[in-house]
């Protein structure tokens, strides 16, 4: 079985949010080579950004992205604390990629095909690109907690 792994799956597990148990089961199946997971550097970047944002929000007690951005630029201690979490995530991704997680490229055709999914389903660009990549790789299942994918009738959404 092949499944596309969306950022929300990683984030539920890493941030210990509701659904973490289901995320752990799916990622555990990748660890055990029971299924092959596919994701892109775009997904990994989104996870990285949200990890940094969540950690900085907690430390700085703000959700103001401009304040966080400025603090990350000028406060090495803050940056280092946030990047510890990113390093943990990166080690986990490397571990999974030594099992059955495949990190696949996004090409121009995926980007152009994504417009069709934006028009047809009202998806945002990143989500539409995930679908275009899945279609190119003949993947019919996406692991995500993002409800925007529920509208698709030819892609199974898990959990």
Residue range 11-32, pLDDT digits in tens = 999 999 999 999 999 999 999 9
Tell me the pLDDT of the chain averaged across its residues. Answer: 95
Vertex 71 angle, CA 65 and 72, to 5°? 90
Q: Which of 86, 46, 81, 83 is nearest to 60 (CA)?
A: 81
Residues linked to residue 158 through DSSP beta bridges, in sequence order: 143
pTM over 0.75: yes
CATH number of the domain encompassing residue 121: 3.40.50.1010
Residue range of the domain that includes 87: 2-158
Tell me how many domains the chain contains.
1
Cα 156 to the center of its chain, rounded Å: 17
């Amino acid at each position: 079985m092949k499944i596309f792994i969306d950022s929300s799956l990683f984030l539920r597990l890493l941030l210990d949010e509701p659904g973490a148990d289901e995320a752990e089961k799916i990622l555990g199946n990748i660890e055990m080579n029971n299924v092959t997971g596919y994701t892109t550097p775009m997904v990994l970047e989104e996870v990285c950004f949200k990890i940094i944002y969540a950690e900085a929000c907690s430390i700085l007690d703000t959700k103001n992205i401009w304040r966080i951005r400025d603090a990350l630029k000028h406060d090495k201690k803050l940056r280092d604390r946030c990047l510890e979490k990113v390093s943990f995530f990166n080690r986990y991704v490397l571990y999974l990629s030594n099992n059955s997680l495949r990190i696949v490229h996004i090409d121009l055709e995926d980007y152009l095909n994504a417009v069709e999914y934006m028009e047809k389903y009202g998806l945002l660009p990143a989500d539409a690109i995930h679908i275009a990549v899945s279609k190119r790789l003949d993947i019919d299942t996406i692991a995500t907690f993002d409800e925007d994918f529920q509208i698709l009738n030819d892609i199974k959404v898990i959990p």
